[in-house]
Amino acid sequence: MVKLITVAVSQYGKLDVIINNAGIARLNRIDELDIDGWDEMININIKGVLYGMAAAIPVFKKQQSGHIINIISTSGLKIVPTQDIYAGIKNAIRTITEAFRQESDGSIRISGISPGFIKKDFAIKSVNTEESNTISVKYRFIYRQKVNSYSVKSLSAIQKTNHYCLNSVAIL
């Protein structure tokens, strides 16, 4: 991530925004004890955001400006079966985002965007294949509406002036 940001700064002269959007979900019940899946989600979903922030923050501090946008999830707002660990991890991202916002002097803005379910490959990563297929089919029709709304909200958060920061958006 540091190399990517270094290339961006050398090519464009500065870094305006980083969007931390990598994530996976292992959809299954807690009592299925998918410990490897839990570790995988923690390593990608939490550490990925932290590594992205760690790569951008020194650049933003030096510039005295920048915007971090962490993509969270509405799964952390409405808990449903099989998304329990995923929802907990997404709530960790929400907490990290809010904590940084409170700690920041305002020169580095941070926002959390929580899209509703959009079609992603992560639904296939369920231990229970039948359940995974049901989830994928059930939410497939939502995909186009959510992506358009999600893109508009991300752009809106980025375009605000330095005197204003959109802290949190939930796209239901």
CB 45 within 8 A of CB 23: yes
Catalytic-labelled residue, pool 12, 51, 86, 143: 86
Active site residue 86: yes
HSE-up of 119 (CA within 13 Å, CB side)? 14
- Residues with a known catalytic role: 86
